[in-house]
Structure 1
Amino acid sequence: MTGLTALALDALIFIGLAWTAWRLLGRSIPIAVIPIIIGLLLAATGVLPASWGVPSKIGDQIGFIGVLLLAFTAGLETRQSAHLPTTADAKPLPPTQALRFVASAGMALLLPFTLGTLAAHAYFTGLPGWDAPEGGAWMGTLAIGLCIAVSALPVLIGIVRELGPLHRPLTQLALRIAVIDDAVLWIGLALLLLVAEGGSLLAGVSALHLLAVGTLVMLAATGALAQRMPGQLPLWLVWLSLPVFLVAGAWASSQLGLHALLGAYFGGAMVPPAWSRRLPVERLGQFALIGLAPLFFGHSGLKIDGGVLGWASLQASLVLLVLAVVAKLVAVLLCPPAPSLSRREALAVGALLQCKGLMEIVAATILRDHGLLSEHAFAALVTLAVLSTLLTGPFFRLLVRRRAQVDTGGRQTA
């Protein structure tokens, strides 16, 4: 089968079929997880003939470009809160409330990370096939803990858009926390990979490594200086600068032994907010999410060894799901992001934050590529990401619906 024919089949399965299923289901399931489900089903059943050439090499490249663009737009959204629905009119918090909010965001990361790491070290890494190929036992457990702590900003944005403005105060809090979580995730990934590759990096520092570091520093300096410049840069020049930030960041991180996606994310975060306000960031993200990245996510599911998908893997995923959800809920109950929240409102925020979505799959892919996750662990974490994302909307609606019923009952008896 020719390359173009294989690409056409590839796109038909993971873009066309995924989009059709998404529309037929009334957009009730985030489109990001549908190609993953398709890939997992194909990997588990083995019904896809090898002669079809799927996944195709060209499809792999297009999908990777799509996920690079997705990571880049996630970086843009991290810096520019105006692109987050329900936060465009948000005012800066007073110092005491800001401190409480940061503490809540930290708790929402630290508690799931700690519990996930300890559970992985005590139980999961002892399961057959769960040992990390590289980095030793503790590096593998830290990788699992990091994936447990993830909150998926891009998918959460889509879910919040679907929820509408009715629950704006709660969704606004969740998105603000997710911005912090998203940034810390990528920083944590970079640090974990640096530690895992530390010996080889320090032993083999070259002029190319120094050039890569210099490139990142130059991007950061350019972004900072451009933000302080008076006046506006012509829009066409802003557009021309985007591929420079994206390609330079991705190249620099890959030269440092990290993943290109890390550099793409940080490249987007280094773009001055004054520039990104003028860009259709949401449209760029949607184009990457619907038109390109499904190939990457579908291939990620398809490339999982079908032999590791089974009842044992599903059981592990369900245990990890319970652990991740409970940890997020307990974290927001122990340290609510706002003092005025009731317990049920805090739980509703936690229900949104437990969404793993794309970010866990991207993080798990990076960690697997560097040998810090085994195929068994990767399969379980991808399944966890799918389940948690599917759970997010219904779980949130259930909590706010019950809250509304309680409020109505209280008014009737008053």
Structure 2
Amino acid sequence: MPSTPAFVLDALIFIGLAWVAWRALGRSIPIAVIPIIIGLLLAATGALPAGWGVPSKLGDQIGFVGVLLLAFTAGLETRQSAHLPTAADATPLPRTQALRFVASAGMALLLPFALGTLAAHYYFTGLPGWEAPKGGAWMGALAIGLCIAVSALPVLIGIVRELGPLHRPLTQLALRIAVIDDAVLWIGLAVLLLAAEGGSLLAGASWSTVLAVGVVAVLAVAGTLAQRLHRDPPTWAIWLMLPLFLVAGAWASSQFGLHALLGAYFGGAMVPPAWTKRLPVERMGQLALIGLAPLFFGHSGLKIDGSVLGWASLQASLALLVLAVVAKLVAVLLCPPASTLSRREALAVGALLQCKGLMEIVAATILRDHGLLSEHAFAALVTLAVLSTLLTGPFFRALVRRHAQADTGARQAV
């Protein structure tokens, strides 16, 4: 099929059909996962003829631009908490609880990461087709552990907005932890990829690598100076600077041998928070999420080898899901983010944090592209991300509903 009709069909399937399905389901399923489900179903059934040209080359390019923008806005959101949905009377956490909060965020990352890594090393990577093509057994296990530890900030923001203001104190705690977890995820990805290269990046340094280091340094210094000097340039000037941070960050990370998405994220994180307050970050993220990135995520599902999607893969995904959910819940029970939370409220926060969403799929895609995940592991982790995201809203509602019923029963007994 010629390129233009192939792209139109591509967009109709992964953008148009996904949006229609989302509206038809009453927005009960996050729109982020619907293109992935469509791609997985097409890959598993082989219902899409190869001659139709889907995925199209133009669709791949537009989808990649969309996910770059999504990573960039995720970086912006980690620096600017004003973009998180808050109540009008929301106040920062008291300083006395800051240490507890940071410890809880660390526990919510470290426990799932440790358990996921150990389970992967001693069991999952021993399954047929699960061994990582590069990096050895431990590198592949660390890659799976990192995906298990993910909390998906962009999708979680959307889910929290759908939950409404009733449970705002709990959802705010979850979002604040997810901001930290999201930043650590991208740093962890960069460290893991650098470690997988075994120092070859420095050994093979060229003028482009040196230039990339200079670009990163200039961006970091410029963002820091702009923040400290409290300079507020015109809004149009900020809009002109944004593509520079995005493109320069993505290019620099690719020169280091890392994925361009890492640079896009850190490029967004380098933009001064004072600038992002004047930007429609939420709408930028929605444009990427609804209008561009579905092509990337739909293609990620479609490009999975259909032969690896079967009962064994689903069993592995369910086992990973149980591990990821239990680890998050145990983490927040062992170290609640606030001393005032009841056990059920802490579990409700953990139910939100177990959401994997797009960030796990992005992380898994990066790790697969660098040979740290096999196709079997990638397929299981993508399925895990879908199941985890679908579980988040109903799981949270069930916990807070039972908590409310318990409070009502106690008051009636009195």
The C-alpha deviation readout for 1:285-323, integer Å capped at 9, x for no partner, is: 000000000000000000000000000000000000000
* Residue 305 (structure 1) aligns with: 305
* Residue 351 (structure 1) aligns with: 351
Cα distance in 1 for partners of 2:151, 2:313 equals 22
Shift of 1:89: 5.5
* Residue 285 (structure 2) aligns with: 285
In structure 2, give the amino acid aligned to 1:82: A
CA contact (8 A) 2:332 2:350 kept: yes
Cα distance in 2 for partners of 1:365, 1:395 equals 27
Cα distance in 2 for partners of 1:89, 1:378 equals 43
The C-alpha deviation readout for 1:3-27, integer Å capped at 9, x for no partner, is: 1100000000000000000000000
Cα distance in 1 for partners of 2:338, 2:31 equals 31
Q: Helix, strand or coil for the counterpart of 1:17?
A: helix
* Residue 156 (structure 2) aligns with: 156
CA contact (8 A) 1:81 1:87 kept: no
In structure 2, give the amino acid aligned to 1:177: I
In structure 2, give the amino acid aligned to 1:350: G
CA contact (8 A) 1:82 1:88 kept: no
The C-alpha deviation readout for 1:145-170, integer Å capped at 9, x for no partner, is: 00000000000000000000000000
Structure 1 range deviating more: 191-200 or 123-132: 191-200
Q: Helix, strand or coil for the counterpart of 2:199?
A: helix
Matches within 5 A, 1:78-227: 78-86=78-86, 90-227=90-227
Matches within 5 A, 1:376-395: 376-395=376-395
Structure 1 residues 94 and 383: CA distance shift in structure 2, 3 A: same
* Residue 5 (structure 1) aligns with: 5
Structure 1 residues 170 and 409: CA distance shift in structure 2, 3 A: same
Cα distance in 1 for partners of 2:59, 2:348 equals 38
* Residue 39 (structure 1) aligns with: 39
Q: Unaligned stretches of 5+ in structure 2?
A: none
In structure 2, give the amino acid aligned to 1:73: T
Cα distance in 2 for partners of 1:360, 1:144 equals 10
Shift of 1:206: 1.3
Cα distance in 1 for partners of 2:266, 2:88 equals 22
In structure 2, give the amino acid aligned to 1:405: Q
Runs of 4+ in 1 over 6 A off after TM superposition: none
Q: Helix, strand or coil for the counterpart of 1:165?
A: coil
Shift of 1:229: 2.4
The C-alpha deviation readout for 1:84-115, integer Å capped at 9, x for no partner, is: 01277543333330000000000000000000
The C-alpha deviation readout for 1:372-397, integer Å capped at 9, x for no partner, is: 00000000000000000000000000
Identity of matched residues, %:
86
Cα distance in 2 for partners of 1:109, 1:319 equals 19
Structure 1 residues 87 and 364: CA distance shift in structure 2, 3 A: farther
Cα distance in 2 for partners of 1:88, 1:404 equals 23
Cα distance in 1 for partners of 2:231, 2:257 equals 38
In structure 1, give the amino acid aligned to 2:257: G
Cα distance in 1 for partners of 2:298, 2:137 equals 29
In structure 2, give the amino acid aligned to 1:326: V
CA contact (8 A) 1:73 1:285 kept: yes
Q: Helix, strand or coil for the counterpart of 1:73?
A: helix
Aligned residues: 414
CA contact (8 A) 1:104 1:335 kept: yes
CA contact (8 A) 2:152 2:355 kept: yes
Matches within 5 A, 1:308-327: 308-327=308-327
Structure 1 residues 89 and 197: CA distance shift in structure 2, 3 A: farther
The C-alpha deviation readout for 1:250-304, integer Å capped at 9, x for no partner, is: 0000000000000000000000000000000000000000000000000000000
* Residue 52 (structure 1) aligns with: 52
Structure 1 range deviating more: 191-200 or 68-77: 191-200
Shift of 1:79: 0.2
* Residue 408 (structure 1) aligns with: 408
Shift of 1:217: 1.1
In structure 2, give the amino acid aligned to 1:270: M
CA contact (8 A) 2:87 2:165 kept: no
CA contact (8 A) 1:71 1:265 kept: yes
CA contact (8 A) 1:86 1:171 kept: no
In structure 2, give the amino acid aligned to 1:290: I
Shift of 1:232: 1.9
Cα distance in 2 for partners of 1:254, 1:231 equals 31
The C-alpha deviation readout for 1:17-70, integer Å capped at 9, x for no partner, is: 000000000000000000000000000000100110000000000000000000
* Residue 70 (structure 1) aligns with: 70
CA contact (8 A) 1:344 1:403 kept: yes
In structure 2, give the amino acid aligned to 1:191: V
In structure 2, give the amino acid aligned to 1:43: A
Q: RMSD between aligned alpha carbons? A: 0.9
Q: Helix, strand or coil for the counterpart of 1:93?
A: coil
Cα distance in 2 for partners of 1:125, 1:232 equals 51
CA contact (8 A) 1:81 1:88 kept: no
Shift of 1:238: 0.4
Cα distance in 1 for partners of 2:355, 2:208 equals 38
CA contact (8 A) 1:87 1:172 kept: no
* Residue 242 (structure 2) aligns with: 242
Cα distance in 2 for partners of 1:230, 1:299 equals 43
